[in-house]
Amino acid sequence: MTDQTAATDWSRWLDRWEAQQGREMPDREERFAAMIDVLVDLCGTAPHVADLGSGPGSLARRIIERLPGARVTAIDMDPVLLAIGRNALGDMGGRLSWLDADLRSRWSAQAAGPVDAAVSATALHWLKLDALAGLYRHLGTVLRPGGVFVNGDGMALPATEPRLAAAALSIRNRRRAPAGGSSESWEQWWEAVDADPGLAAEVAERNLRHHDHPDHENQADLAAHVMLLRQAGFAEVDTLWQHLADRVLVAIR
């Protein structure tokens, strides 16, 4: 792995990740900033945070850069994204740690102690409803009493509002950067990863671990998230930032 590490431009891969995610979500930076605002208000400037579905650490890194005392455990099960994050960001002066774990498992057994907050960006729509319910129950054992969960993700409008849901979707699609622009699409980014010999070991492991995630029609909507969080014992749950169906849903234990 040493030769491979030397040959792979991890920082460049991280930059390309940020560019393609920004293309998919023009409001990504604004949503990250709103999530960190919530963290500061409810947990102060030195929280211990778990980033669920961290990818290569995009949100974890922004939290550490903005909050001088924050520590983050970045949790993901994708070997490609973990390798990019670990190699491009390292441990950020001992404030960032990485955990290779499946959010559908009882991952806290491996994580360090109770945390003040759990955050997640553009990740939990990958979980089916039963897995989401299990994760929210599990957060009860991971968050300290009064701890906070901050989830930035697409959470569809309810089926009772079909024209509003369709309008939200078409406005979102119009606002996305057009195909053929300077940054890659999600599919182009992964095609490029597959073609880089320096990432071959991580790609092979990723293929072994592949798991299906719900298609857009079967993702949990806002009502499902709120219901599951309340069932899991969260005391207050509401949206604190929203653009169309993209929200920052915040819950306090």
Ligand X SMILES: C[S@@+](CC[C@H](N)C(=O)[O-])C[C@H]1O[C@@H](n2cnc3c(N)ncnc32)[C@H](O)[C@@H]1O
Binding site for ligand X (CB under 6 A): 21, 53-55, 58-59, 76-78, 81, 102-104, 121-123, 126
Based on CB atoms, which residue is closest to ligand X, 53 or 147?
53
Number of residues that make up the chain: 253
80: phi then psi, degrees, rounded to nearest 5: -70, -50
Based on CB atoms, which residue is closest to ligand X, 74 or 226?
74
Residue nearest to ligand X (CB): 55
CB of residue 153 to ligand X, shortest distance in Å: 9
End-to-end distance of the chain based on CA atoms, in angstroms? 42
CB of residue 189 to ligand X, shortest distance in Å: 11
Beta-sheet strand order (sheet of 115-121): 96-100, 71-76, 48-52, 115-121, 143-154, 246-252, 236-243
CB of residue 33 to ligand X, shortest distance in Å: 13
CB of residue 159 to ligand X, shortest distance in Å: 24
Amino acid identity for residue 88 in this structure: A
Based on CB atoms, which residue is closest to ligand X, 21 or 108?
21
Tell me, rounded to whole angstroms, the distance of Cα 242 from its chain centroid: 16
Residues 6+ apart with CB under 8 A from 11: 88
Based on CB atoms, which residue is closest to ligand X, 162 or 172?
172
* Calculated CA dihedral for residues 51, 55, 59, 64, nearest 10 degrees: 80
CB of residue 158 to ligand X, shortest distance in Å: 24
Based on CB atoms, which residue is closest to ligand X, 162 or 207?
207
